[in-house]
Structure 1
Amino acid sequence: MSFDFKKSVKKGAKITPKKIRSKYRLRLMNRLVESQETVSELAKSVGLRMPHASAEIKRMRDEKLVSSDLEIGSRGAKIRLTEEGIKVLQMDEWYKAEEALPIPKDNDKICVLYREGTDILFAFLRQPEETLILVPDRLPDSKGNEGVSWNWAKLNHSDLRWFDLNEKTISMEEPEILDPQNIESYGDNSQIIGIARGKLIQGENIVSISTGEWFGQPDFRSNSLLPENIYHRGLWSLGTCHQLSPIIRPKDAIVAIMDDNLYKSMLLRIAKKNALLIGDLRGVTSVESVYPLDVLDYWIEIAHPRISNQEKRKRLVALKEKITTKKRIKTSDSTWRKFRKDWNDVIFDKEAFSKEMETRGLGKNAVESIVQWSVSLDNNLQLVIDLTEKISSETMLKLSFCDKLRLLIIKENDIFFKNFDMLRVDKKRSLPWLEFVTKRGETLPLKLIEDGHKESPLGENINKNINPWSLLGLKIESDFVSEEFDEEYLSVIMSSISQYPLGDESWANQMEARYPLAAWIASPDNGRWPRWQRLRERIDPEWLALLNLDFLPIEKLVEISDEAPDSVLNMFSDKLKIKLREDSDIFLRTRPIMESRKASRGVSWIAAQFLSNAPWLSENTYLDMLEWSIEAWLRNPPKKSLDAIKGVYWLFTKENKNLIEIDELMYKIKNKNKKLDDMNEVKIWSNMLDMVLDEKKLDGNEIRMIVEKMPSDWWAVESQNILLRGIRSEDGFKWILKENAPWCSTILRPKGEQIEVPGLSAKKHPGCDFTIYNEIERILNDSTSESIMDLYDSINNSINQISPTSGRTHELVGWLAQPIEKWPYFSSDELLKGNIEITKRILKKVSGYDYYYVKSEK
């Protein structure tokens, strides 16, 4: 136990200043004021050999400065300071306190009175708000803090001992805080200082500041007091040790030792994001949990450790069937009793499960089985577990080795987690403060944070490939490959990611010259556009993905779109769509002043956005879009132009109801730009028109692009011919038999059905020819796609006048091949069970029943 000086002195007590001259005696007393220790522990901590330490402690005992909890000479005896020893140490502090003169008027100043090794004696003019102090290696000059290195120290006690240097007495009260703006404050001669002992956290750092020098705290964020790679690059925010220290985002698991529900609830709320939460969730959520049925595989092993594996499997199957089917299934009485005792009336599901699993009301075996199941899960969900029950050592061992563990809350220390970072209740300060004990044994204050801090979306591979999409938490198809950075540059980049998730303009300005990418990442949204104008030649345009369009002067959109790669423009499309639909006047402010025939890549992209959102724009823009936007778009059509094609078709149909004339207009558009990439949606659409209207025979890759990129309604008129090319094993068409394309919804259609397709408005569906049934029958095997199997079954049942069986791609797919007069009423649940394309066809109540074929067969 450390000593509380305030209880050892009285207000107004006078102390005679007297220096402790022996360096080793002072070191020993400094250790003893923190805690009682044995002679060997003291010798090791102060760097003395045992005989010398023992001799010095004997002299201190003779002077009645220390005593022992056992008889003199007993092994393992703990040495502690006596009242006399404390008084001698206070006399030494008094001697050093005079180093603080003259006292400044600035109440925020701090003074180092003494330093020996990692021990520091501080003087304050007011109670510090935090127990962590930044100490400069030298006194900052009037020019600022340039070249000054700051080191972290921690106060041993949060309370100060106040000395009145004028009266030569001990004060129990903090002096009044003076107003520096009030001239009367400068006439105050108060000479009261507060003294506190502390330790340098990074003891290897050199601090050469002179004793007696007063200094203030910096106004910028300092270096981290913990290794950045371990404590600042994780996927969640825990808290901060100091307002000037980076937010702690641990990569490794944290173990919290606590039993108080309030503390646990706050921790669980902080740690739950993007994690699987297991425990007492009364302070987190009130939603009923759904448990995975697979958890019973683990529960049966725990509940019946002695029965044979065969018997366990038998009981498990019966139990699962009874739970899921609600039938009167016979199960073992002992298994059912144990199940009811452990699980009560919880909800189980074969596939889905809650990300927040309540363990209140569950038995010990149920809790342990949930933990075992969560450890074995094959996914990227991190685990946050509040152990409400004591579980077996084997499971605790597995948990300690689980690399997905983010936070574990237990009631008391466990041997399996002794080498983990730990959180404990702070006995001196209430929430949100806790004690954070690192693996290295450092005990730091930690203030929990919950709201107002953006989660860091870093993945495990961010060091290997730093890219904007990882930072945004998006999975984007992009050819971007990050450049390789040296170790120093990489470290600065990672600091910008982990320490400044909300941006820091001042820090970014400092980094811009040497580390442009780090500066760009650390820029706040409102500072990115000015910074891009300076950095556009120094960083890859892919990083424009971090640019927030809300903070970009909208008239500069053309400039940006000329630079941005396709991956970034695709993301901007979604954002610009929202802006155009919310405020149609955006069109007026972004319409480029440029001839359409001279449109650049960026201008073509903006024209495509206008066309894609045409129905939401003002009517007085339609003429300009017909005359300017279409031609500008077709100069350099973006790869993703499907919405623009739909927009052009909508504009044509609004002004003209003649479908043949509209198709002719769309056909002219397709011929405007023939030198396009095969992946461009305009080229794919053009190929589709050629295939349908001109009977052009496309190769397998061209057909595949149509099936995969175009809406299925658009190529439905040719769907049967496309499938037959695959069935007949034409070169390049083998993929069709394995492709789960919506064959049923495209082929099973009535003859003469007309669908509004850009360029094919007047084209009618040929209807389903049931003779395809014989063709499919020849190629059926295990590798045939589910969609083709459903098509075969649907036609087969219809020919044989059998009611449809439940389909693979949709429960009701077979009804598309049945006469419409046979269709029953379908519930909403039935309609939504499967492929959405089939759902749409059933809702339209149209059948592909081949009346001619069935009649001829009869």
Structure 2
Amino acid sequence: MPAKIRSNYRRRLLTTLSISGCSVSEAAQKTGLRLPHASAELKKLRGEGHVSADREGESRGSHQRLTSSGIKLLESDELARLKQVLKTGVPSEAQGCIVARDGESLLLAYAVNPGKGILLIPNQGMEIISGSSGNQGDELEFSWVTPVERRIRWFDSKTLEPTQAPESEQSMQTLAAWTEANQVVGLIRGRTLDYSRSENLAVGTWFKKPEMKNPPPLPNLLRDGDWNLGKAHESAKPVKPEVPLVAVVQERYAASLLTNAASEGAWVLSDRAESNPVPISVLQWWIREVHPRLSAAELRDRLSQVQKAAVTGWRGRRRRSRLTTTWQRFRESWQDVEWQEEPVYGNPASFNIQSLDSLAVKSLMHWIIEDAKQPLVLNWPTHRDFDENKFGSLLQNGLNRLLITPHEINSPSLVLAEGPEGWPDSRLRLPTNIEIPILLAEQKEELIAPPDNWTRPWKPSDIIPLSQSFDLVKTPDDELEALWIACSLFPEGEENWANRHESKFPLAAWIASSQEHRWSRWQRISRWLNSEWIELLPPEEVPFSELVKLLARATPEWRIHASQVIRKTMVLQPDAVIEMRRWSKEKSDAAACAEQILAVAPWVIPHLGKAMAVWAYHAWQENPTQDIGPVLEGMKWCANQGFLKKSWSKSIEEVAINLRSGHPLRHWLSILKWTTDGKTMRLDSMRNSFETLPLDWWAHLSIEALSRQLEDEDGRSWLLEQPISWAAACLRPPTEEASLPGTDSQHPGMDANLVVSIRHHFVNLENEKGEGCFHLLDLIESIEGLEQGSAVKCGRTHPAVSWLVRPLNEWGKLDSTPEGFSCDEMVQARLDIRVSGFHSGLLESTQARLP
């Protein structure tokens, strides 16, 4: 039975400790209690088992923390207060209610889920609003309440037992209606950012969902900065820090997201590959750091020497013995740096600090802030420790816009850390120790509006390059003439002509474009072209971050080419994934991006971290693409390496059930259920799945499938027509692990009796027509040759196919194939990995040939 805590001191201390552990003096300061009173009450709580100290017997300096008993005691108090509020029912359209108040601390109840982020409450309740006169003086004011808990705790409205969050926002009409609908109520502790605005809202007062024109302002520190960090609430203005911000980040994706957000108009120090040359004037700051005790004259002399060495190369300088230390420190600090004599103060610059030591980085910071007087973003490499003591007051300089470090440092400034749901969800801690939830900003794309008077074009196959020459000055009379001229300019193109006629004849302009300008034109006119026309656009000419957005409407041929370009770039430059991810806003774009990431998971996920793997896993499920092969293989690899849960396939199965029947993921699910649950497929469905999915995924089922298809007339026709490499599928060792993602089954090994069945159903197979006949004959003759002990024959689909059933120790060197022979790719792949399908059971067949 919930019971209230009578002591206000006790409730304050329990609430404070529920947020985080602290010392006795810190607890007194946070609760506003005198130290003796706080100490005495904490002593009682420790004696009752509600609080524990990390150093028993030494109360001074020890951290006090809530025990499970203390958590239950505080929650019992909160539920008792909630029960009191619910006695009068919940007004219609109510969103939330103040359950308890203690100064700036609030306990809020919600009838509907208020969503993520900071909370918003009015200064007047519903009963006052409904009775207002509508005068200007009655206008509502609002205040921000920042949650001090990670999530809202939801309870059953009748039993007050913990339950799940509501799925949709449904206002409670009355207590009876609420009970009938089995609705829930949420509790969350919060702290108001402006006590004066919310003090008029009494305990027990219900309020509506906020509807306002002008949201209340955020704290001064977050209003007037020069860059956009993100948003605390959908109705709030962007958070623009005007003081230095320290971000604690260990994921490259999040670090890049923050750097991109803060880098507009700022100079950036990071470990990115691109870098501007370093001005030699930076060395005047470095020489002071290296030799703090030398005289001014000696410093000028050594500075002159190292500046000359920076430009001409230090090895070419005649070194003096007294400069040995300076030369050594110079080489240690400035490894692989490109220098320039004249500094450029105009456009923002970026410097790669990957190989620079702390003194070099500090010198760069001094030069940017003191000399260039430019805002600075410092993204410290995650693999290096950051010693804040070496940088001193530089970190608090107003021009130091953002510092990203892998570990938290002592800072009186704003501190940003990862939120409970992972980046871009974050928590911003103010100097007053208040934490505000922030959703990080992502750069928005600029849209190019095409002209409205363009007509629908023809198909790409209609392009016929012409040898005629035309008067390119004359304006074409109609589209037919324009297309005729454009075909004469294809494929070299003529930009001036295309630019002049783009608005009137967009298709002709597209055909007449030169290769190097196709991308800019595609951005302007693609909306008016059929998707097939993208085949004229080389994927190599498209900016990498934009490629993924084109995949959804591209032809299969172009998509394959573009995917090759994307994946090659990802492998060579894993950080490019972050840029592509940042531009993938729509579900279809995000899913296409996730497909590419998972396809090259072994190369990029170890570099970018678990967060990227989890994002790709969930993003792809929102809108599964057609090319499921590399995606599921990538998920399987991520699970094996610990980046995803071992049960990753369960969620994919649920997604597959709701897809249309022809989607490749449905075929995968059918094969998976056949493998794991023995749920066999209809013969027609089996045929469709085998034609859709990679052969390696269903090879472990090939023997049973071939046997069943032989029993069906349509199945036999299919076997004769389809060029399926049955030898590559069937001739595998019994212990070979199945390649189907989501299962750990094994191949059963070839059954020699299957050959007898094939001969029975195809009596005169050698004279049958169809591409599938050759594959069946290769399988049959390979087994028969083994049983008869005859020499290996040259196969029809591959000259060395019969070796797949011979013991591996009999194999010769099969690296090359004579010219003029057909070479089935699947057979060649099995030969390349040198795995034989031979096993002793193949020589023990007892089934007689059927008449």
Same fold (TM over 0.5): no
Q: State which structure, 1 or 2, has the greater radius of gyration over its C-alpha atoms.
A: 1
